[in-house]
């Protein structure tokens, strides 16, 4: 009989969220962090950019954040989370996951 605390190889949980690394440029800052997006029915075929296009809130919470100077690329700050005002974003993108086919 298997121990309930044992993690089984190949077993994964669907939390209903997709975690993607997001890069946002706001004024003089480049902000990199992890965003969590709700997953719909066609999640397996969605590209990273599709999650950003579907996001309609005025604020985006990022975790595991690194803030850089846009001009020098110097790391200015790290923090556990920030809330980005989407109205102030110059441009934003989500990095494609390893092994994903961005051309489909």
Domain boundaries, the chain: 17-94
For residues 41 and 69, the model is more confident at 69
| pTM beyond cutoff 0.75 | no
* Third-level CATH fold of 17-94: SH3 type barrels. (2.30.30)
DSSP-assigned letters across all residues of the chain: ---TTPPPTT-----SEEEEEEEEEETTEEEEEEEEEE--TTGGG--HHHHHHH---SEEEEEEEEEEETTT--EEEEEEEEEEEGGG-SEEEEPPPTT--TT-
Per-chain mean pLDDT for the chain: 78
Q: Say if residue 68's pLDDT is above 90.
A: yes
Q: Say if residue 54's pLDDT is above 80.
A: no
pLDDT digits (tens, 9 = 90+) for 70-85: 999 999 999 999 999 9
Among the listed ranges 2-16, 32-46, 74-88, which one has the minimum average pLDDT value? 2-16
Q: Say if residue 41's pLDDT is above 60.
A: no
């Amino acid at each position: 009989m298997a121990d309930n605390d044992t993690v089984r190889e190949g077993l994964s949980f669907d939390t209903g969220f997709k975690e993607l690394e997001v890069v946002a440029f706001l004024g003089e800052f480049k902000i990199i962090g992890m965003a969590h997006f709700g997953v719909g029915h066609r999640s397996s075929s969605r590209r990273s950019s599709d999650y950003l296009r579907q996001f309609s809130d005025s604020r985006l919470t990022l975790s595991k954040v690194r803030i850089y100077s846009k001009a020098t690329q110097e790391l200015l700050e790290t923090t556990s989370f920030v809330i980005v005002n989407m109205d102030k974003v110059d441009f934003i993108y989500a990095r494609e996951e390893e092994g994903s086919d961005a051309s489909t």
